[in-house]
């Protein structure tokens, strides 16, 4: 059996770290992190498969991002259209302080450069899986978060997965509609 030593090394080094320092994150690092979250890997018939497994390839998670001081990208809130792999600005400006307040004032939030939100869209899965859809979406969030954290580690960045937040407050801050739900997020930044 052959084990990819580079993957093994990244997995051994991966850790949650709240010791972040706000610097300027390179644009390429952002690109790599968003791709790791939910980027295309291959096609299976007409379906573009992604980096994270999904029940029946329904992909019920939307990727929303908050950026501050990332390459040449304007600070703001963005939606990553995973079907086309395009980033769309939804709200300009700096929002990390409001996100930190919604995340029970966890200080590392404002020290990060990138926050990747996993937003559940039931309309994309419920018709296929009914009541068990939320459970499958939760599994998918775990896959996505681990991909983000492993990529962050490989890039020499720190990352923190966050599940403790006031969901409706956070949803309002990042501008998602009431029919969707913020399930999880990962804050990524430069290591202190």
pLDDT tier for residue 170 given thresholds of 50, 70 and 90: very high
Residue 71 covered by a domain: yes
Residue 185 CB coordination number (10 Å): 26
Torsion of CA 77, 110, 104, 161, to 10 degrees: 80
Is residue 2, in this structure, part of any structural domain at all?
no
pLDDT digits (tens, 9 = 90+) for 49-64: 899 999 999 999 999 9
What pLDDT is attached to residue 32? 96
**Residue 29, in any domain of the structure:** yes
Checking if the pLDDT of 2 tops 70, the result is no
For residue 173, pLDDT over 50 is answered with: yes
Please indicate whether residue 3 or residue 115 has the higher confidence score (pLDDT).
115
**Segments forming the whole domain that contains residue 147:** 17-191
Task: Give the mean pLDDT of 128-148.
Answer: 97
Whether 116 shows a pLDDT value over 60: the answer reads: yes
12 in a structural domain: no
pLDDT band at 5 (very low <50, low <70, confident <90, very high): low
> Domain for residue 101, yes or no?
yes
| pLDDT tens-digit series, residues 85-97 | 899 999 999 999 9
- With tokens 């030593």, the residue in question is 5
1 has a pLDDT exceeding 50: no
Is residue 170 one of the residues assigned to a domain?
yes
Cα 10 to Cα 170: distance, rounded to the nearest angstrom: 31
| CATH assignment of the domain containing 94 | 3.40.109.10
Read off the pLDDT of residues 16-46 as tens digits, 9 standing for 90 and up. Answer: 889 898 889 999 999 999 999 999 998 888 8
Domain count, the chain: 1
- Kindly state whether residue 125 falls inside one of the protein's structural domains: yes
Helices 133-154 and 5-13 sit at what angle, rounded to 10 degrees? 100
Question: How far is it, in rounded angstroms, from Cα 38 to Cα 96?
Answer: 23
Residue 152 belongs to some domain of the structure? yes
Using CA atoms, how far residue 96 sits from 3, 14, 27, 71, 110, in Å, is: 39, 24, 19, 17, 5
């Amino acid at each position: 059996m052959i084990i990819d030593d580079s993957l093994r090394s990244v997995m051994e080094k991966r850790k949650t770290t709240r010791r972040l320092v706000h610097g300027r994150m390179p644009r390429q690092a952002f690109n790599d992190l968003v791709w790791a979250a939910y980027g295309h890997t291959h096609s299976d018939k007409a379906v573009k498969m992604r980096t994270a497994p999904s029940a029946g390839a329904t992909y019920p998670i939307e990727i929303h991002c908050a950026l501050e001081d990332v390459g040449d990208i304007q600070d703001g809130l963005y939606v990553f259209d995973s079907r086309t792999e395009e980033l769309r600005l939804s709200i300009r400006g700096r929002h990390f302080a409001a996100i930190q307040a919604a995340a029970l004032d966890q200080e590392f939030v404002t020290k990060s450069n990138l926050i990747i939100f996993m937003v559940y869209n039931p309309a994309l899965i419920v018709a296929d899986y009914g009541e068990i859809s939320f459970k499958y979406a939760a599994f998918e969030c775990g896959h996505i978060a681990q991909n983000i954290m492993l990529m962050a580690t490989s890039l020499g960045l720190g990352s923190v997965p966050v599940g403790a937040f006031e969901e409706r407050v956070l949803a309002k801050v990042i501008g998602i509609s009431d029919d969707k739900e913020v399930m999880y997020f990962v804050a990524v930044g430069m290591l202190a």
